[in-house]
């Protein structure tokens, strides 16, 4: 029950934050502030680049993995990784491991979900 309540709270905060981003980024709105909306997107880009760098630096042949990983796509709030392993279960395991590893490098309460 507590988890559902906390999830509801975080979702409400996320919706509120998205709304603030939206009205500050709309130049025809009542409270435009492009500096705020630009900083939000810049921080998102930094997080995607950070994630890409960590994944590709860790999951590669030089570190004992069978394949080199590659981030093939990243946008807004998602990153898609090709681990190169044809075994889907192993790729899913690596994805979850990577999400946990990267979450540890983000400021709380930011969490990379898998």
44-86 pLDDT, tens digit each: 899 999 999 999 999 999 999 999 999 999 987 789 999 999 9
Cα radius of gyration rounded to whole Å, the chain: 17
Beta bridge partners of 79: 74
Q: Tell if the pTM clears 0.85, that is, is over it.
A: no
Strands 78-82, 70-75: pairing kind = antiparallel
Give percent above pLDDT 90 in the chain. 58
Task: Report whether pLDDT(19) > 90.
Answer: no
The beta strand positions in the chain, using DSSP E, are 70-75, 78-82
Going by the DSSP 8-state scheme, the letter that residue 107 receives in this structure is P
Task: Compute the mean pLDDT over every residue in the chain, rounded to the nearest whole number.
Answer: 91
Task: Report whether pLDDT(10) > 90.
Answer: no
At 77 the pLDDT is 78
Name which of 67, 71, 59, 63 is nearest 86 in CA terms. 67
Among left, alpha and beta (phi > 0; psi -120 to 50; other), residue 76 is left
């Amino acid at each position: 029950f507590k988890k559902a309540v906390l999830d509801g709270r975080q979702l409400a905060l996320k919706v509120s934050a998205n709304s603030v981003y939206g009205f500050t980024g709309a130049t025809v709105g009542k409270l435009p502030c492009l500096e705020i909306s630009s900083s939000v997107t810049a921080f998102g880009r930094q997080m995607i680049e950070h994630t890409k760098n960590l994944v590709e630096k860790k999951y590669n042949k030089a570190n004992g993995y069978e394949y080199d990983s590659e981030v093939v796509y990243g946008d807004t709030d998602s990153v898609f990784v090709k681990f190169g392993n044809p075994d889907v279960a192993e790729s899913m395991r690596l994805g979850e491991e990577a999400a946990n590893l990267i979450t540890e490098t983000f400021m709380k309460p930011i969490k990379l979900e898998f």
